[in-house]
């Protein structure tokens, strides 16, 4: 099973929050054997119940987009919603609660100068410890291989620091092993351009002023040259 949380933040604080759930062919066959009706893997309502990971849909705003997900052997769906500000994003993340705590215990902040920071208040995912009986039935490594859990974050500007497992084309990726005792606590800092519209206006005004000064000096120089040439002729005419 694959679960991917994707956060894409723009320089103005707007962006997109996405969550994808997908199943490989083997797991789909197991679920289909237990289902009385054919399963549409792009529609979470086809297989969503109280124990399904798809119940996170209840935390997304009404009107969120749902699209099919397909990647290699994995089929499923992606639910996405846009946010207009970091405050709206962080509110969405706060409202996404599981029975044991926050589902998405992280937030994105900015100080207004173009610096963006991903801050975590706890582990991104906390796995449940297996009992001895459960471990005998399914070894932890085998269980870990069944899951592909990822957090993908894109912040505006250049990445100054991150503890992501990898960064691909500016997208930071954290991979979670549900059986690992080491918590994954995502953190990152990115710096976008700090130039504001006011700064640009000042720069343009300065450029115009310099260009105007150069034009004025050249004009005066040309006028002086013309006067120097015509003045002797005028003097001769006077005599």
Chain segment 172-195, per-residue pLDDT in tens: 999 988 777 788 899 999 999 754
Which phi and psi (to 5°) does residue 99 adopt?
A: -65, -30
The upper half-sphere exposure of residue 17, i.e. CA atoms within 13 Å in the direction of its Cβ, equals: 27
Q: Could you report the per-residue pLDDT of 82-101, keeping only the tens digit for each? A: 999 999 999 988 876 554 45
Q: How far apart are CA 112 and CA 85, in angstroms?
A: 12
Q: Please, are residues 1 and 22 in contact by the beta-carbon 8 Å criterion? A: yes
Instruction: Please enumerate in sequence order all residues whose Cβ is within 8 A of that of 81, keeping only pairs 6 or more positions apart, or say none.
Output: 16, 17, 60, 61, 63, 64, 65, 92
Which has the minimum average pLDDT: 26-30, 95-99, 234-238?
A: 234-238
Three-state secondary-structure class, residue 194: coil
Looking at residue 85, its pLDDT comes to 97
Other C-beta atoms lying within 10 Å of the C-beta of residue 210: 10
C-alpha–C-alpha distance, residues 100 and 97, integer Å: 8
Q: Is the pLDDT of residue 62 over 60?
A: yes
Beta bridge partners of 4: 20, 150
Rounded distance between C-alpha atoms, residue 83 and residue 92, angstroms = 9
Residue 86: how many CB atoms within 10 A of its CB? 18
């Amino acid at each position: 099973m694959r679960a991917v949380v994707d956060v894409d933040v723009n320089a103005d604080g707007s962006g997109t929050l996405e969550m994808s759930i997908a199943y490989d062919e083997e797991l789909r066959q197991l679920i289909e054997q237990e289902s009385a009706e054919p399963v549409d893997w792009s529609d979470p309502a086809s297989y969503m119940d109280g124990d399904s990971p798809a119940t996170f849909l209840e935390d997304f705003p009404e009107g969120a987009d749902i699209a099919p997900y397909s990647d290699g052997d994995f089929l499923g769906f992606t639910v996405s919603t846009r946010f207009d500000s970091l405050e709206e994003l962080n509110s969405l993340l706060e409202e996404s609660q599981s029975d044991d705590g926050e589902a998405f215990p992280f937030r994105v902040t900015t100080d207004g100068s173009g610096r963006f920071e991903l801050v975590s208040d706890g582990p991104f995912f906390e796995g449940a410890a297996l009992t001895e009986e459960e471990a005998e039935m399914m070894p932890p490594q085998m269980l870990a291989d069944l899951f592909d859990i990822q957090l993908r974050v894109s912040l505006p500007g250049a990445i100054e620091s991150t503890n992501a497992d990898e960064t691909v084309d500016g997208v930071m990726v954290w991979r979670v092993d549900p059986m690992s005792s080491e918590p994954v606590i995502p953190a990152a800092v990115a710096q976008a351009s700090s130039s504001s519209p006011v700064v640009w206006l000042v720069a343009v005004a300065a450029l115009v002023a310099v260009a105007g000064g150069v034009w004025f000096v050249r004009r005066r120089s040309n006028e002086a040259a013309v006067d120097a040439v015509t003045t002797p002729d005028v003097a001769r005419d006077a005599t």
